[in-house]
Amino acid sequence: MINKDSRYHAFQILLEFEHNKSQLKLVRNRYYNSFSVSQNDINRSLVLSNEVVRWRRKLDYWIQRNLNKPRKSLNRKALIILRLGYYEILIDKTIPIYAAVNSWVELSKHVLNNKLIGLINAVLRKSAVINPKEKDANQSIGSWYSYPDWLINSWINKYDEKSTNKLCDWFNKPAYTDLRIHSDYEKIKKYLSRLEIEFKLSPHSNRFIRIQSDLNKIISSSYFDTGKINVQGRGAGAVVELLSPTPNSVVLDVCAAPGTKSLYIFEIMKKQGQLYCSDIDSDRILMGKTRAETLRFPIEWSCKDASIDSFPYADYILIDAPCTGTGVIGKNVDIRWRRKEGNATIMSFRQLKILQHMAKFLKPKGVIVYSTCSMEYEENWNVVESFLKLNNNFYLESGKSFVPNQWLNAEGCLETFPPRDKIDGMFAARIRKYD
């Protein structure tokens, strides 16, 4: 009888992920909701599945070194087991080699034929000859850091090779979680101390703190229930700060679900005025609506397409545009494999369409903030520049009065570089309409 432990669950999750090519997070959630899995096994299988996806290309490179045939010819189940084993042996290193080998060979006996079991055993044992800290002379940057070549080339063209190395390394480090606090800092400090949660201030803010673990403790706490603590990235917070809507104004937040920026917008408005939030994803809208109702924020949510539907006229509009998400690749490790070359260009057409359409609903002297969590030029300045060329009744306004100036580019737009700024990769432009 097979032992359905964390390794088994990680194997099944990765098998489904490779088969369906959908978001890793969604695959995991469906799996955990469908089967009875202990919390300890959830925790470990989450790490295993996440890190194997993160390091997939590097793991495949090492596996290929110890194969006498092309890796692509391997049975999919066998390849997933080898990836998991090589991760535990060469990257994780918390488990003795013999124990890892024995565990994965034992699992293979239940899911593979006898011929492949022997191959699994042999290739796993050969991992001992690999020095994981040593880059091969002919190994590419993409293979070493585990990214697709097209993305590496895109970043080298935008920055340079040295900066690209730093960027790749940053996104491969353990993810942190930022929390936005809406309460007295000293009270928050004492409360988290009682929960034995370690934290530090997020960059350039006394409204955000950063934790490395214990997120579940936060979400199940009374301070989260009452809105004194919200889960929100510091970079995402800076986008809202760039908008800085005044009290008693009318604000549109489109492409808004699940609504973390919406809550911050309403707080900056001092909960005075009208905030209309919308998205095309009804499930994510429900998340935002539920959170707002829990906090008793009178935010109006609706299911709308920001590229074609009608909206109230507003003083401020936030467009958190759908994008490739390459600026949050460290927290969403599957993005690097689900995105393809040319996706940013395709996405930019949709982004410009949304910006063009939503500009129709901005009052004279009103402000639009166009933002993405992408590192790609096509989705960022290229969209803004195209919009300004097409609309001479709008102009770009510098973000100097609103966000840390270290995060601004030459045009005065918010444009962060994660290794330098220690936050997600964000872009946002503040655009004002003439009288």
State the DSSP string of 189-227.
Answer: HHHHHHTT---EEPTT-SSEEEESS-HHHHHTSHHHHTT
**Amino acid (one-letter) located at 190:** K
> Alpha carbon 118 to chain centroid distance?
39
Instruction: Give, for 288, the enclosing helix (H) or strand (E).
Output: helix 282-294
- SS3 call for 99: helix
pLDDT of residue 21: 84
Q: How far apart are CA 10 and CA 87, in angstroms?
A: 12
Mean pLDDT of 308-319: 98
pLDDT of residue 95: 86
Q: Which pair of tokens denotes residue 384?
A: 């803004």
Cβ atoms within 10 A of the Cβ of 367, count? 23
Superfamily classification of domain 6-132? NusB-like (1.10.940.10)
Q: Where do the structural domains in the chain lie, given as residue ranges?
A: 6-132, 234-433
Mean pLDDT of 88-115: 92
In this prediction the pTM is: 0.94
| pLDDT of 252 over the 80 cut | yes
Q: Which residues of 213-249 are buried (b: 16+ CB within 10 A; e: fewer)?
A: ebeeebeebebbeebbbbebbbbbbbbbbbbbbeeeb
| Percentage of the chain lying above the pLDDT 70 cut | 100
| pLDDT of 175 over the 90 cut | no
The CB-based long-range contact list for 410-415 (8 Å cut-off, 24+ gap) reads 411/381, 413/380, 413/381, 413/384, 414/238, 414/239, 414/242, 414/371, 415/380, 415/381
With a CB cutoff of 8 Å and minimum separation 6, the contacts of 199 are: 179, 192, 209, 210, 211
Q: At what angle do helices 76-86 and 39-54 cross, to 10 degrees?
A: 100
pLDDT of residue 183: 76
Among residues 274, 272, 273, 280, the alpha carbon closest in space to that of 302 is found at: 280
Cβ atoms within 10 A of the Cβ of 400, count? 10
Please name the fold of domain 234-433.
Rossmann fold (3.40.50)
Mean pLDDT of 384-399: 98
Q: How far apart are CA 13 and CA 10, in angstroms?
A: 5
pLDDT of residue 42: 95
Q: ω before 404 within 30° of 0 (cis)? A: no
Highest mean pLDDT among 67-81, 169-183, 248-262: 248-262
pLDDT band at 272 (very low <50, low <70, confident <90, very high): very high
- SS3 call for 278: strand
| pLDDT of 2 over the 90 cut | no
- Domains 6-132 and 234-433 fall in the same CATH topology: no
Locus of tokens 């994965």: 104
pLDDT in tens, 335-367: 999 999 999 999 999 999 999 999 999 999 999
Instruction: Give, for 359, the enclosing helix (H) or strand (E).
Output: none
pLDDT band at 373 (very low <50, low <70, confident <90, very high): very high
| pLDDT of 402 over the 80 cut | yes
* Angle value at C-alpha 8, between 145 and 63, nearest 5 degrees: 35
Q: What's the number of CA atoms in the CB half-sphere (13 Å) around residue 51?
A: 20
Q: What is the mean pLDDT of the chain?
A: 95
Provide the 8-state DSSP code for 292: H
With a CB cutoff of 8 Å and minimum separation 6, the contacts of 304 are: 254, 278, 279, 280, 311
pLDDT, greater one: 214 or 84: 84
| pLDDT of 70 over the 80 cut | yes
| pLDDT of 57 over the 80 cut | yes
DSSP string, 389-401: HH-TTEEEE--TT
Q: How far apart are CA 351 and CA 380, in angstroms?
A: 9
Q: How far apart are CA 244 and CA 25, in angstroms?
A: 32
Cβ atoms within 10 A of the Cβ of 308, count? 9
| pLDDT of 184 over the 90 cut | no
